[in-house]
């Protein structure tokens, strides 16, 4: 059930189905994110590597984060520096997330993953392949 819920979350993010995504985040959260950090982390890393070049500059990452955050003026806004750090960590600067609280890490990864998936406009078959690849990558760490 947990892996299916995580895969469903990735699919909901890609469709901009925020009600389903919120419900799934709640469901996964109640189970303590068992395996969730790995699956979401794997999907996050894949999406970051598809969007950004390995040598993306901090200013390129900051510009993308600023544009993504500017689309959402309501509710709690995730901290820009942590969001930038997560992206840059996925690109190789792992130390940038050493002090990010787990709750912030999960929320920022889900938000960024959703934005990257929307930007990628994956066809259904591409999304299936993306989810499968994320699940396989996560399984290596479970």
- Report, as an integer, the average pLDDT of 59-77: 83
pLDDT tens across 70-107, in order? 887 664 578 889 999 999 999 999 999 888 888 888 88
What pLDDT score was predicted for residue 74? Answer: 60
- Report, as an integer, the average pLDDT of 25-43: 82
pTM, to two decimals: 0.89
Distances (CA, A) of 18 to 9, 22, 56, 59, 113: 10, 6, 29, 29, 13
- Higher pLDDT pick, 27 / 45: 45
């Amino acid at each position: 059930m947990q892996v299916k819920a995580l895969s469903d979350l990735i699919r909901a993010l890609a469709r901009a189905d925020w009600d389903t995504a919120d419900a799934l985040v709640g469901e996964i959260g109640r189970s303590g994110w068992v395996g969730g950090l790995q699956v979401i982390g794997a999907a996050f890393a894949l999406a970051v590597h598809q969007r950004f070049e390995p040598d993306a500059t901090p200013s390129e990452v900051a510009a993308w984060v600023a544009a993504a955050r500017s689309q959402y003026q309501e509710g709690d806004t995730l901290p820009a520096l942590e969001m930038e750090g997560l992206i840059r960590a996925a690109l190789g600067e792992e130390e940038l997330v050493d002090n990010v609280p787990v709750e912030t890490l999960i929320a920022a990864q889900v938000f960024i993953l959703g934005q990257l998936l929307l930007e990628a406009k994956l066809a259904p078959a591409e999304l299936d392949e993306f989810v499968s690849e994320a699940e396989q990558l996560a399984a290596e760490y479970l």
